[in-house]
Amino acid sequence: MSAMFLHASQLSVRYPGQPQAAVDGVSLGLAAGDIGVLIGPSGCGKTTLLRAVAGLERASGGSIHLGGDLVSDGQHHVPAEQRRIGMVFQDYALFPHLSVGRNVAFGIHALPRTEREQRVTEVLKLVGLDGMQARHPHELSGGQQQRVALARALAPRPRLLLLDEPFSNLDVDLRERLAHEVRAILKAAGATALFVTHDQLEAFAIGDVIGVMHQGHLHQWDDAYALYHRPATRFVAEFIGHGVFAPAQIRQQADGDMVVQTPLGALSDMDECPLPSAYEAGLCDVLLRADDIVHDDHAPVKAQIVRKAFRGSEFLYTLRLASGETLMTHVPSHHNHAVGEWIGIRAEVDHVVTFARGGGAGSPPAAAAQPRIVSTASSSSAS
C-alpha cells in the first residue's frame, strides 16, 4: 500500500433503500503522478466511486487511503474540504461574471496577492491560456473553458485531481484531442489524477491505468493493451473494442501443439492457448476481435456483409458466416463492398482468449489461470 498514493480496499458504497451496492468491494491502487481512468456503462458505479474518493459519499465498507492517510472507512470519514482534492466537472462550473484570472484564483484567495497572481499566471501558462486572464468564460470556446476549469483545479496544488466526464459536453473530434492535451498538462504538473468517462478513446488517450466497472464491481484495473488483449472477464472482453464470441473446441495434437477449432477453421501456431482440460471436452467460446479477422478474396471461408460502418481510412464490417455465426472485421476503405455481398475471410490470431461456453459477464477466461497456459510456438515462451 505504501507504493500507492491512492489506495481503495474492498470499498463499498450503499444508498438507503437500494438492494444492490452502488460500489461493491472495489480495490484499486494509483501511484503518485499516474492518471487512472474509470470506464463503464451508465449506472455502473464509476461516478459514485469518484465521489467516495472525493469525500462526497460515505463509505459503507472497506477503506480509502490518500498518501498513506486513512480518509474513509465504515467508521471514519474525513470531509471533502479537508482532503486537498481538486475536482473538474462536465459542466465546467465556471463563474460567468468573473474573468478567467479571477475564476482560476477562486480557490487560492487566502494567498498573498502577489503570490496568488503568480500562481494564476503559472497555471494558465501550463494549460496554454497565458495572457487570457482578463477574458470572460463566454468569450472562450468549449475546449478553452474546460482548460480554465482544469487550471482552477490545479491552482491550489491538490494532492489528487478528480475529473468527472469533463469532455462530455464537447464534440467528438475535440474530445480525443483535448484528452491528449489534458494528459500532457497533468504530466507537466506532476499531478495524480482519477478520471471518469464512458468514452473508450478518451480513456485510452489519457490513462496510465484503466478500470472497467459493471454493476458496482471493478472487473479489471490494468493498462489499455491488457484490457484489449487480455481481458480479465467476459464483460471486459465485450465492452472494450470490437469483437464477438464464437463457439470453439481446443484440441491437443500428438506433437503437443494446441489447435482451436472455430467456425473459421482451425487456429494454430499461436503464442498462447489454454489446455483442453480447462473446459469439459475442450468446448469453449473464443474471443475474436475485428483485427483478428482478415479480408482475403482467396480464403476458402466466405462471410456475408450484414452491416458496414465507414471510418474514413477503413470500414468496420459486421459479417455472418453460412453457419450463422457473426464476426466483425476492419477492412481498408478502398475495399468498398456492398451490404449483402459475400467476401473471403481468414483468422490471424496470435493468442487466444477463451471463456466457458455461454458464461456470465463476470466469467474469467481460462488464459487468466497461468498454469493452464502453454505455448504453441516454443516451450521457452510459455507463460
Q: Quote the DSSP letter at residue 77.
A: B
* Residue pair 14/60 in contact by the 8 Å Cβ criterion: yes
The domain made up of 6-229 has a fold known as Rossmann fold (3.40.50)
Residue limits of CATH 3.40.50.300 in the chain:
6-229
Instruction: With 0.85 as the threshold, say if the pTM is over it.
Output: yes
Distance CA 330, CA 244 (A): 13
Give rounded-to-5 percent helix, strand, coil for the chain: 30, 35, 40
pLDDT of residue 66: 96
The superfamily CATH assigns to domain 244-381 is Nucleic acid-binding proteins (2.40.50.140)
Q: In the chain, which residues have pLDDT < 50? A: 1-2, 367-383
Q: What is the pLDDT of residues 173-196, one digit of tens each?
A: 788 888 999 999 999 999 999 999
Cα of 186 vs its chain's centroid, Å: 18
pLDDT of residue 256: 81
pLDDT of residue 365: 81
Distance CA 49, CA 164 (A): 11
pLDDT of residue 367: 45
Distance CA 243, CA 24 (A): 28
Cα of 312 vs its chain's centroid, Å: 24
pLDDT of residue 159: 94
Residue limits of CATH 2.40.50.140 in the chain:
244-381
Angle (nearest 5°) at CA 17 between 14 and 23: 20
Cell 489499455 found at: 224
Q: What is the pLDDT of residues 86-104, one digit of tens each?
A: 999 888 789 999 999 999 9
- Give the N- to C-terminal CA distance of the chain in Å, as an integer: 27
pLDDT of residue 383: 27
